[in-house]
Amino acid sequence: MRFLNTSIGRACPSAVSGIFNFMPGELRCRHKRGTMVVKIIGRGKDSGQSAQDVQRPLSHALPATSSLPLSKLPAFVLPTALKVPVEGTSDMKYCICSLVFCLSFVIAPGNVAALEPIPDKTVVLTFDDSVKSHFTVVRPVLKKYGFPATFFITEGFDFRENKQDYMSWEQIAQLHADGFEIGNHTRDHVGITDKTVNQLGVQLEGIDQQCHRYGIPKPISFAYPGNAITERALSVLEGHGIKFARRGGVPEFPYEEGRGVVYEPYQDHPLLVPSAGDARPAWELEDFTRSLDRAKQGRIAVLQFHGVPDTAHAWVNTPRDKFEAYMRYLARNDFNVVAMRELSRYVDPGKVPQDPNAVIVARQQVLATEKTHRGD
């Protein structure tokens, strides 16, 4: 009998791919909640154990069938597990299916099975560009309501010299100490395109280093500067440990109006999470509430703000009184306000759509059809 040491999360599927090396017996999975043991059923016709014997103690939810297709595996089986080659006798196929199932149920408690259902009215608050008023105005308002939020930090523009309009790193560290999330918005506020994506690693690193210097954990959330996006950024962000990345409402809506679409987990790539709204100076309460309308049935409204007020970027200014009205609205209407990093309570960032662009194209088609019907 051999044992396999595996750790929680993504290491497990590679372990699964090695199951042909194991004799019938036990597979021992170690993870941070201790050691758990999964029995492997026999892989030949001579096996003395029946499939049901093995299944029963592990999960009552498993159907007692020996012809379970791989497509019926639970959604939280990690993607690479599905690449396990399935050959040989039907018994062997069953063995593989069972093992994948067992692993998913046993390992899941510390991982994806612990995901919470997404409450209706879930809203993510994000603030870009290290604006001074994030500290002087936004911070006290959020604290008053007990709202978490993510501040996406950049040293771009004239951050280093202009302490009238931009926070100091000491103030950013205080936001972290207050319990807010500090996210990465690139060192120099570089729009990420096919031409600039080769700079992304260095740009992320620049903010990471400053965070380290000021006792702030390495950011795991990212916002695309200027809302420019390219699919080529995804592998760089993932390799850098970014779990969720926020884009704007482009390309579904033009940049200027700040309109956007609600985030649909598992349809939208976790590194291309759309903004439901990107606050503009002319916004009224109804523009704000329109961004929230579809935050239900598993969808999440991710909101993008800049300065309150924004003394350096007038086109994305939010007046203080409007901002206070927006936050009051969230509080009075019992919205579930979270920071970007808290999305991992509800969504497994390791589970990504095959084509990150598919949902965007589908939305564009729906919006174009609606426009035609309205006669715009």
For binding to Zn ion (CB under 5 A), which residues are involved?
Answer: 128-129, 225
The CB-of-9 to Zn ion minimum distance in angstroms stands at 31
Q: Select from 118, 100, 111, 74 the least CA-distant residue to 349.
A: 111
Residue 307 in contact with residue 318, Cβ under 8 Å?
Answer: yes
Half-sphere exposure of 288 (CA within 13 A, CB side): 20
User: What's CA 312's distance to the chain center, in Å?
Assistant: 30
Cβ closest to Zn ion, residue 128 vs residue 155: 128
Cβ closest to Zn ion, residue 278 vs residue 348: 278
| Cα–Cα distance, 363 to 303 (Å, whole number) | 19
The CB-of-156 to Zn ion minimum distance in angstroms stands at 7
Say how many Å lie between the first and final Cα of the chain, rounded: 70
Cβ closest to Zn ion, residue 55 vs residue 126: 126
The CB-of-159 to Zn ion minimum distance in angstroms stands at 11
The CB-of-285 to Zn ion minimum distance in angstroms stands at 24
Cβ closest to Zn ion, residue 41 vs residue 312: 312
| Residue facing Zn ion at closest CB distance | 128
Sequential DSSP letters for 34-89: EEEEEEEPPSSTT-SS-HHHHHTTT-TTS---S---GGGS-TTS-GGGGGS---S-
Cβ closest to Zn ion, residue 13 vs residue 225: 225
User: How many C-beta atoms surround the C-beta of residue 7 within 10 A?
Assistant: 14
User: How many C-beta atoms surround the C-beta of residue 100 within 10 A?
Assistant: 23
The CB-of-338 to Zn ion minimum distance in angstroms stands at 21
**SS3 category, 107:** helix
Cβ closest to Zn ion, residue 305 vs residue 335: 305
The CB-of-150 to Zn ion minimum distance in angstroms stands at 13
Six-digit token pair at 48?
A: 């003395």
